[in-house]
């Protein structure tokens, strides 16, 4: 159940930030900050002890959504955010108290999508 919530929050964070940047023409930092603030505020006001990682996951996935729409499309952002959520679920217990975990995980998920898309383009060209 927790992995499902993690993946849903990461997809919402990445895709929401990307869509606000693309459709509303907000700057990526502005869309990440506003959406993360909207998600994090109820968790600060109400005491949701079981789901304290949701604002962090959403904020980290918004790093994926801040990627350029010249490089990524919606499907690639969705897959990168899904990869971020899955890798955060697997690696979060290993990186306690180490700064930069969210950004590093988001960067690695975006880089893996870039590599996969380049290899798939080369594979299609060689057929």
pLDDT tens column, 45-84: 887 777 778 999 999 999 999 999 899 999 999 999 999 9
Number of separate domains in the chain? 1
pLDDT on residue 53: 85
Q: Is the pLDDT score of 85 beyond 90?
A: yes
Three-state SS letters, the chain: CHHHHHHHHHHHHHHHHHHHHHHCCCCHHHHHHHHHHHHHHHHHHCCCHHHCCHHHHHHHHHHHHCCCCCCCCHHHHHHHHHHHHHHHHHHCCCCCCCCCHHHHHHHHHHHHHHHHHHHHHHHHHHC
The pTM of this model reads 0.88
Amino acid 91: pLDDT: 83
Q: Output the pLDDT for position 97.
A: 64
pLDDT at 78: 96
Range of the domain at 55: 2-126
Of the listed ranges 25-39, 77-91, 112-126, the one predicted with least confidence: 112-126
Q: Which residue has the higher pLDDT, 47 or 16?
A: 16
């Amino acid at each position: 159940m927790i992995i499902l919530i993690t993946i849903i929050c990461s997809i919402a964070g990445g895709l929401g930030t990307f869509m606000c940047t693309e459709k509303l023409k907000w700057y990526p930092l502005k869309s990440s900050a506003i959406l993360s603030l909207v998600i994090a505020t109820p968790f600060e006001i109400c005491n949701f002890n079981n789901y304290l990682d949701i604002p962090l996951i959403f904020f980290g996935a918004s790093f994926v959504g801040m990627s350029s729409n010249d490089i990524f499309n919606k499907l690639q952002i969705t897959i990168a955010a899904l990869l971020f959520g899955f890798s955060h679920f697997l690696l979060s217990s290993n990186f306690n108290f180490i700064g930069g975990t969210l950004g590093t995980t988001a960067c690695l998920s975006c880089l893996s999508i870039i590599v996969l898309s380049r290899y798939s383009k080369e594979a299609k060209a060689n057929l």
